[in-house]
Chain A
């Protein structure tokens, strides 16, 4: 029996976060949903539960706690909310994979994130690229394991279909 990995979705009530949460809930994962807008999370959790599956999904109010419990962190919040939350999680994500979803191109994004999280494996997913883009074009990173993990997750959840539905 394969071990169940825990994924923290930071920004799980947002546009991307909610779609990723619903898609990942079908996989062999334990999901921890965190969002600064906590009031919006129960609706997402209910939507996942109502889909008839028996997902292992839990809401969590603190970004650091969610990241501490997780093997993989999926950060889906926009740039404006990134810095202070990344600073909070920094000490509990050493040697973990942290995947950042970018809604628009950012200059030096990887270098800046690497500076903030020097001991984490970072993967960046360019959500602004069209649905037709391949995962090798969409994903960049500083660590082979992190980009491999990101590629696997994106394949499992059919990222191109999610992007088509969002735009």
Chain B
């Protein structure tokens, strides 16, 4: 149940067996079926979730009822509305499962306790959050500077698995383009190759 979790953590920090056993006691294992919610808009995001299996998405819904994809999380990725999680404010997001999922979830209280008890985890999350800042900056640059085709190519290069597992209408929403535009881009690229 924690295999991928510790593989992922041990790539960044080194935890002893005793520390790993301690870390396990802070996480709640939870299975979600496809389309089940981890978070609904208006609720406080109570958990920071590591995906052991499956795929999650976070999105918001505008006043016309249109969904806008914010993030996806495959195996080995983390998911939360981090602002709501840390502040205790209600979330503007929804998070649900695109595929049946197995999660390891931690509350803010447990998160804080774990950092004190296992300092290696504090270092792990510092590295995780650093990488997250870089990735968000890249996404911002991509969104304001690149053409639709460039955005798609960069996503395909950096996260090819996303394109295999996420429906294309959701990928289009994530890139901020229409499904029709995405379809045209894919057709154009396949003709070029």
User: Which residues on A are within 8 Å of B, measured CB to CB?
Assistant: 1-4, 65, 68-69, 71, 91-92, 94-96, 118-119
Across the interface, A95 reaches (CB within 8 A) one of B28, B32, B33, B102, namely B28
Contact of B8 with A by CB under 8 A = no
Is B30 within 8 A of A2, CB to CB?
Answer: no
Q: CB of B24 within 8 A of chain A?
A: yes
Known: A3-B37, A94-B28. 19 other contacts (CB 8 A): A1-B40, A1-B41, A1-B42, A4-B37, A68-B29, A68-B30, A68-B31, A69-B31, A69-B33, A71-B30, A91-B1, A91-B29, A92-B29, A94-B25, A94-B27, A94-B29, A95-B26, A95-B28, A95-B110
Binding site for A on B (CB under 8 A): 1, 24-33, 37, 39-43, 102, 107, 110
The verdict on A3 contacting B25 (CB below 8 Å), with A68-B31, A91-B1, A95-B107 known, is no
10 sampled A-B residue pairs with Cβ under 8 A: A1-B40, A1-B42, A68-B29, A68-B102, A69-B32, A91-B29, A92-B29, A95-B107, A118-B25, A119-B25
- A3, A4, A65: the one contacting B39 at CB < 8 Å is A3
Which residues of A sit under 8 angstroms from B41, Cβ to Cβ? Answer: 1
B28's nearest neighbour on chain A, judged by CB, is A95
Q: Point out the residue from A3, A65, A71, A118 that lies within 8 Å of B40, measured CB to CB.
A: A3
Min C-beta distance of A120 to chain B, whole Å: 10
By beta carbon, the residue of chain B nearest A66 is B31
What is the bound-complex CA distance between A79 and B145, given in angstroms?
66
> Provided the pairs A2-B43, A3-B39 are in contact, do residues A95 and B31 lie with their beta carbons within 8 angstroms?
no
Q: Report the bound CA distance from A86 to B37 in whole Å.
A: 27
- The smallest beta-carbon distance between A117 and chain B, in angstroms, is 12
Instruction: Compute how far the CA of A118 lies from the CA of B24 in the bound complex, rounded to whole angstroms.
Output: 12
Contacts of B37 in A (CB 8 A): 3-4
* Docked pose: A22 CA to B104 CA in angstroms: 31
Across chains A and B, which 4 residue pairs bring their CB atoms closest together, nearest first?
A95-B28, A69-B31, A119-B25, A92-B29
What CA separation (Å) do A94 and B21 show in the bound complex?
12
> Known contacts A1-B42, A2-B43; is A94 also within 8 Å of B24 by CB?
yes
Distance in angstroms from A150 CB to nearest chain B CB is: 18
B26 / chain A contacts, CB cutoff of 8 Å: 95
| CB of B20, distance to nearest CB on chain A (Å) | 14
Residues of A within 8 A of B24 (CB): 94
Query: In the complex, how many angstroms separate the beta carbon of B147 from the nearest chain A beta carbon?
Result: 38
B30 touches A3 (CB 8 A): no
Nearest-neighbour CB distance to chain B for A2, whole angstroms, equals 7
